Structures are given as C-alpha cells and as structure tokens.
Amino acid sequence: MPRPLSHIRVLDLSRVLAGPWASQNLADLGAEVLKIERPGSGDDTRSWGPPFLKGKDGGETRESAYFLSVNRGKKSVTLDIANPEGQKIARSLAAKCDVLLENYKVGGLPKYGLAYADLRKINPRIIYCSITGFGQSGPSAHRPGYDFIFQGMGGLMSITGERDSEPGGGPQKVGIAVTDVLAGMYASLAITAAIAHRERTGTGQYIDLALFDSVVAFGANQILNYFTSGKTPARYGNAHANVVPYEVFATADGHLILAVGNDGQFASFCKVAGRPELAGDSRYATMPGRIRNRAALIPVLREILRERPSATWLAELEAGNVPCGPINNYKEVFEDPQVQHRGLKIEIPHSAGVPCPTVASPMRFSETPVEYTVPPPRLGEHTREVLGSLLGLGDGELDRLAAQKII
C-alpha cells in the first residue's frame, strides 16, 4: 500500500542535523527524497566520526554513525550548485519536485538562482522550507547559530542542571542537539501541513523555520509559569517545579526515578514504603502542600529510598501503581523488554555488506506503516539514476558533467 507521502518528491539541500532530521521524517512517510551533496565530500556529517559503520572485513567504511542516524530512505545526488551549470540542473530538479528543503545562511541561495522567488516562477506549486538559526528577519537573522548557543539563549539551560546551591550546580545543556531535532520536527510538520493546504488550493508556499523560535516554543509550559506569575523559572536539577516528589533518588545500590503525579499515587508510595503516616500529614497530603513543604519532605524521602535496592523498589512500586523507573544507559535501553517488543532497533541491508542499524520511527500507522528498506545512501550513489530518469540526461552528458566535477 502507498505510504502517506508516496506521491511527494523532495529536493533536500540541507545538511548536518535539523534539515536531514526533517527530510528523514518525510522519507519515512514515503516521500522520495533527493539529497543534494557536494561532489567529493558530501554532507559535513559523513566525516563526523569515529564511530563509522564497519564493513564485512571489520574495517571502517566512510559512513559515520552521525550521518547514518538521519539519512535513511534518501537518494544521494552529488551536484556543485556553485557552478552555473550545476545551478541549472538544480532548478530543473526543483521544477519536478513538490518540496525544497534548505538550511543555508539567510541570503545564501539567491546568488545561485535558487531562492523561493526564483523557483516559484518555474514551479508555483513548490513548498519551500528554509531552516535557519534565527529566521529570515530581525536583528539577529544574519548570525550563524548552533544548538548549544540556542539552548542558552532560548532559556533551556536556565532550567536545566542542578540548582546553584547544590554540588555541581549551574546551567547544563541537554545531552543531544535538541534544538536541531525540534526544528527538524517542526519543519516536517509544517511541510506536511503545507502539502495538505496545496492539495486543497493548488498553491505552494514559503516556510520560514528558525531554530531559535523552536527552542523558545519548546519551553512553553515553563514560560507560562513565568507569564502567569511574573517569577522567572529556576533550575531544579532532576526535580520538578510543579510536582513533588518527582526526581531522582539514591537507593541502597544505585538510583531510580520517582514520579508521583497526584495525591493517590503519593498515598500508594507511602503504603509501599511502610510510612502511611506521611500521606496523612496535612503538610504532604496534597500536591500544593508537598510543593510548599518540599524542603522538609524530600530529605525524609531520601532516607526512605536508601533503605532498599533499586530492583526491589521498582518491583514493589510498580506493583503498587506508583510511577517509577530506572536510569538506563543506551545499552540497557535496548535490553528493555518493551523496547525489544516495540522493535525500536531496525537493521537495513547496506551496500557495505553488513546490516546498517537504525532507530525505528515512533510513527505507527495501521494502514500505511513506515518501511525500512532503503539505507542511508553512499555519496553520489543515485546521481546518474536521478539525473537520467528525471532530466533525461544520457551517459555521455553525465560523463562530461562528472569529468568537470559538476556532479
């Protein structure tokens, strides 16, 4: 059965993470994604290793784990868009595509004749999504930007990390490039919405997607605390500003997460812990009380949790319907029975002669499931196929372009 976007072709001029994350989402949904890469070097992340995928002989291939993580399901076309002839080919491809995705600096593509204003003249139905650091307008639009910077500027690091009064306190970034991932997710949602609009009206449009906007939007529930109270949200480490107890606790042999979301769950915890009197204490019986009396309650809970090992607590708390969980490293994540049941590790046959591992999409469709048949492409793997089939270029012309390093 055709997948949701199997009628859509995407010209992907993006690289690194935010744009490729978006185009991989579109590929998972069935879109044909033509990944345009620089001849000879390709996407920057191809060289962002080690680690690299290992071939049958155990030696490293040229495929970095970073590149593999966000480029499945795509076709690699090498094309030098700094060359006028390469620009002409890119425009010809855009005329045959539904979507163009790019993450060049503001003003970077008009000089190549590849701006939205240029392409809409030859393809009025095109959906053109630009992903930039700060967006297309404003006093910072010209500035380059990186995830780390945006996590700081956008407020995320002001609420991430241990409290200043605690050991190791201070601002901390999230362990993945979350701003890029967020921007990629928003971009893929915006593109699919624009496709739906075009299917009703026949009209394409331009999408201005900024990483800075994305990370600010990500903080909405904390920002609303600020908007409604006037108080600037602070760092709580592994604790929660509006829920108590909701943090990491040391046990007799490790750590676990206790995430008590309501008064009934707190009463259940107290019963499992053998301390039912805590649930009857007027200071702790309700969530507002526990929040106001956090400083008194948490040290008591810390002493209680240290009495038993993690495995014992997890089994007893789960039996008592108290939300809790371990703190897994990624090895342990993929040993979890639920992860294995859901099939979150996928292996796709790769031209290196070994399976290429990938992480399954969380999108589960009853009628049009995501397929995992096309591995991340080798550099330029599909150049001749795409330019021959879409633009009708023959072998002689392709040989000439290759000799001139245009493809």
Q: What is the pLDDT, as a whole number, of residue 191?
A: 98
Q: What is the pLDDT, as a whole number, of residue 58?
A: 87
- Find the catalytic residue in 57, 180, 253, 263: 180
**pLDDT, one tens digit for every residue, the chain (407 residues):** 789 999 999 999 999 999 999 999 999 999 999 999 999 999 999 999 999 999 888 888 889 999 999 999 999 999 999 999 999 999 999 999 999 999 999 999 999 999 999 999 999 999 999 999 999 999 999 998 899 999 999 999 999 998 888 888 899 999 999 999 999 999 999 999 999 999 999 999 999 999 999 999 999 999 999 999 999 998 988 888 889 999 999 999 999 999 999 999 999 999 999 999 999 999 999 999 999 999 999 999 999 999 999 999 999 999 999 999 999 999 999 999 999 999 999 999 998 889 999 999 999 999 999 999 999 999 999 999 999 999 999 999 999 999 999 99
Q: What is the pLDDT, as a whole number, of residue 28?
A: 97
pTM: 0.91
Q: What is the pLDDT, as a whole number, of residue 164?
A: 86
For this structure, is 180 an active site residue? yes
Q: What is the pLDDT, as a whole number, of residue 126?
A: 98
Q: What is the pLDDT, as a whole number, of residue 407?
A: 97
Q: What is the pLDDT, as a whole number, of residue 22?
A: 98
Q: What is the pLDDT, as a whole number, of residue 167?
A: 84
HEC string for the chain? CCCCCCCCEEEEECCCCHHHHHHHHHHHCCCEEEEEECCCCCCHHHHCCCCEEECCCCCEEEEEHHHHHCCCCEEEEECCCCCHHHHHHHHHHHCCCCEEEECCCCCCCHHHCCCHHHHHHHCCCCEEEEEECCCCCCCCCCCCCCHHHHHHHCCHHHCCCCCCCCCCCCCCCCCCCHHHHHHHHHHHHHHHHHHHHHHHHCCCEEEEEEHHHHHHHHCHHHHHHHHHHCCCCCCCCCCCCCCCCEEEEECCCCEEEEECCCHHHHHHHHHHHCCHHHHHCCCCCCHHHHHHCHHHHHHHHHHHHCCCCHHHHHHHHHHCCCCEECCCCHHHHCCCHHHHHHCCEEEEECCCCCEEEEECCCCCCCCCCCCCCCCCCCCCCCHHHHHHHHHCCCHHHHHHHHHCCCC
